[in-house]
Structure 1
Amino acid sequence: MEFFKETLHALRESDPRKKGDLVEQLYTNLKRKRLRFDHETPIETFETPSYAAIATIVRPRDVPKRKRFDDPEGQGILLHAIAHIEYSAIDLALDSAYRFRHMPFDYYFDWIEVAHDEVRHFRMLDALMERVGVRYGDYPVHTALFDAGRKSADDVLERMTIVPRYLEAGGLDANPKIIRKLENYASTPMIEATIETLKVILEEEVVHVFKGDRWFRYLCARRNLDASVYFDIIERFYPGHERKKGWLNVEARRSAGFTCGELKRMGAQKCE
């Protein structure tokens, strides 16, 4: 079997369960080195995300708002929103492995391993959604992460900057905020299960951002670029980002590879 064709097959699949099975098979075959790499395989572009076949796509502002989390509807909306992030992350990891050629084997292994983790995260959330009578696709979704993948499709350095080091790292800041909100509600089995799931996701997302940081710095070194190019790329893709400074999960970001110099430039008051 050829790696890029198998990765494309998983990337195209819209059914979450089938996609998960394909990623598991791909991960197992890659670990056992059963796949050959043909770097000249044509690279396809995608105009629509794989989930377009099963979910209604709307503008980000039109996605159902997350309000109360102590009733089944509020929990369903929250879980669906997070599950959509995890589904999108599966595809972004697969695309990062599929789209960029002539990288070291460890690069491809890292991103298939990330996709494998994201499948597990999605399945954890899917099980919680089932408890409140929700399935993925029941609520409208936006394409923000897919759009970020399209924007960074031409350059692996831009992809490592935009996706793991910017967007996923932002999740390290957002996740604890959601956990704190949930902890303000009376404890129920559903809320406790959601909190535990979010904690698992947070811990493992640190590793994913670290992998992105690893390949970002590898590419900077290979191109003789200073790591401060990160800020240049982000400003080009997201103008004015440095003026939007909020709370940073400094501990998680440090574990994921960010330097104190970078974090202070992002607005961190303390960093050791």
Structure 2
Amino acid sequence: MTEQPATSIAEACREVLTTPAPVAKLKAARRVARAWRQGALRHDFDQPMPVKPAWPPRPELLPPGKMPKRGKAGSERGRIALLHALAHIEFVAVDLAFDMAGRFGAGFPRAFVDDWISVGADEAMHFALLDRRLRALGSFYGALPAHAGLWETAARTADDPLARLAVVPMVLEARGLDVTPTTVMRFRQSGDEAGARILQRIYTDEIRHVRFGTNWFEWACAAQRLNPPTHWRALIDRHFRGLVRPPFNDSARTLAGLTREYWGGLASD
């Protein structure tokens, strides 16, 4: 018996989150993004999001301290390890984006869902590009262990959209803006132009993703009469288990709306 297609955006987001296999999850993400753009899904939040997404049995997920060292990006082995780590980040980012839309969309204008569904479609495309590059290098997603802690932030911020926005796009994705240009350069120096182009594409898209996070964080702060940089600092102190430290990519962060008012003081903390 064929299952009926989702009719609400929450039901559709839940379908993405509860699909474990990477290829099927990517197909679901693209299908939902297309249906939303075409107006085929109601702006209705009639389904709860799962506590945790469904994922495949591999890669093996390890605590951060148990992850093997990746080696130098200049070697093929090091590049494969880095591409695999990035593929896992993008795979989890698909779920983070659809969870953002389905969990918190009712408290924001419709454009909030527009933005995060588009982010989810981007992340699915990023994962597909990285997995394709891994296969060209003789590997694949799941061949190596991966970081187990990426969903912990989502779990800790499941009841607070401002905290989720503060930590996921405005800290975790913003860190990608800081480090990716150097990684692109290293790939190019090693002769891996195909890998460098993929990372450059991801970098360009992530500026927009961080900007979505900053814009909606500031919208919600304005609605609650909160000072955005001050409240952001309070939220990351409370919810982010790690350090936000330099170097910072000032120009990319500014393009993303994440000005020095937010992170400037962190450089001397």
When normalised by structure 2's length, the TM-score is 0.90
State whether structure 2 residue 100 is matched by structure 1 residue 96.
Answer: yes
Does structure 2 conserve the Cα–Cα contact (< 8 Å) formed by 1:250 and 1:263? no
Does structure 2 conserve the Cα–Cα contact (< 8 Å) formed by 1:58 and 1:141? yes
Q: Which residue of 2 aligns with 1:229?
A: 231
Which deviates the most, 232-241 or 140-149?
232-241
Q: Which whole-Å CA distance do the structure 2 matches of 1:179 and 1:155 have between them? A: 34
Q: Alpha carbons of 1:120 and 1:42: their partners in 2 closer, same or farther (altered >3 Å)?
A: closer
Q: Which residue of 1 aligns with 2:125?
A: 120
Does structure 2 conserve the Cα–Cα contact (< 8 Å) formed by 1:87 and 1:119? yes
State whether structure 2 residue 111 is matched by structure 1 residue 109.
Answer: no
Q: Which residue of 1 aligns with 2:251?
A: 251
Q: Which residue of 1 aligns with 2:240?
A: 238
The Cα offsets for residues 185-237 of structure 1, whole Å up to 9 and x where unpaired, read as: 3x2xxx11111111111011000000001110010011111112000111112
Does structure 2 conserve the Cα–Cα contact (< 8 Å) formed by 1:56 and 1:139? yes
State whether structure 2 residue 165 is matched by structure 1 residue 164.
Answer: no
Q: Which whole-Å CA distance do the structure 2 matches of 1:209 and 1:203 have between them? A: 11
Does structure 1 conserve the Cα–Cα contact (< 8 Å) formed by 2:101 and 2:117? yes
The Cα offsets for residues 156-177 of structure 1, whole Å up to 9 and x where unpaired, read as: 1111101001111111112123
> Residue 71 of structure 1: CA displacement?
4.2
Which residue identity does 2:237 align to in structure 1? Answer: E
When normalised by structure 1's length, the TM-score is 0.89
State whether structure 2 residue 21 is matched by structure 1 residue 24.
Answer: no
Q: Which whole-Å CA distance do the structure 1 matches of 2:204 and 2:171 have between them? A: 17
The Cα offsets for residues 134-155 of structure 1, whole Å up to 9 and x where unpaired, read as: 1211111122221111111101
Q: Alpha carbons of 1:12 and 1:45: their partners in 2 closer, same or farther (altered >3 Å)?
A: closer
Q: Runs of 5+ in structure 2 lacking a partner?
A: 1-6
Superposition pairs of residues 20-169 of structure 1, within 5 angstroms? 20-39=26-45, 41-47=46-52, 49-100=53-104, 101-169=106-174
The Cα offsets for residues 39-98 of structure 1, whole Å up to 9 and x where unpaired, read as: 3x2424424x42253321111122232213344432221110010111111110011011
Task: Please point out which of 12, 33, 43 is paired with 1:6.
Answer: 12
Q: Which whole-Å CA distance do the structure 1 matches of 2:240 and 2:23 have between them? A: 34
CA root-mean-square deviation: 1.8
Q: Which whole-Å CA distance do the structure 2 matches of 1:7 and 1:60 have between them? A: 28
Does structure 2 conserve the Cα–Cα contact (< 8 Å) formed by 1:14 and 1:50? yes
Q: How many residues in Structure 1 have an aligned counterpart in Structure 2?
A: 260
Which residue identity does 1:212 align to in structure 2? Answer: G
State whether structure 2 residue 175 is matched by structure 1 residue 211.
Answer: no
Identity within the alignment, %: 31
State whether structure 2 residue 21 is matched by structure 1 residue 15.
Answer: yes
Q: Secondary structure at the residue paired with 2:61?
A: coil
Which residue identity does 2:198 align to in structure 1? Answer: T
Q: Alpha carbons of 1:102 and 1:261: their partners in 2 closer, same or farther (altered >3 Å)?
A: closer
Q: Runs of 5+ in structure 1 lacking a partner?
A: none
Does structure 1 conserve the Cα–Cα contact (< 8 Å) formed by 2:60 and 2:144? yes
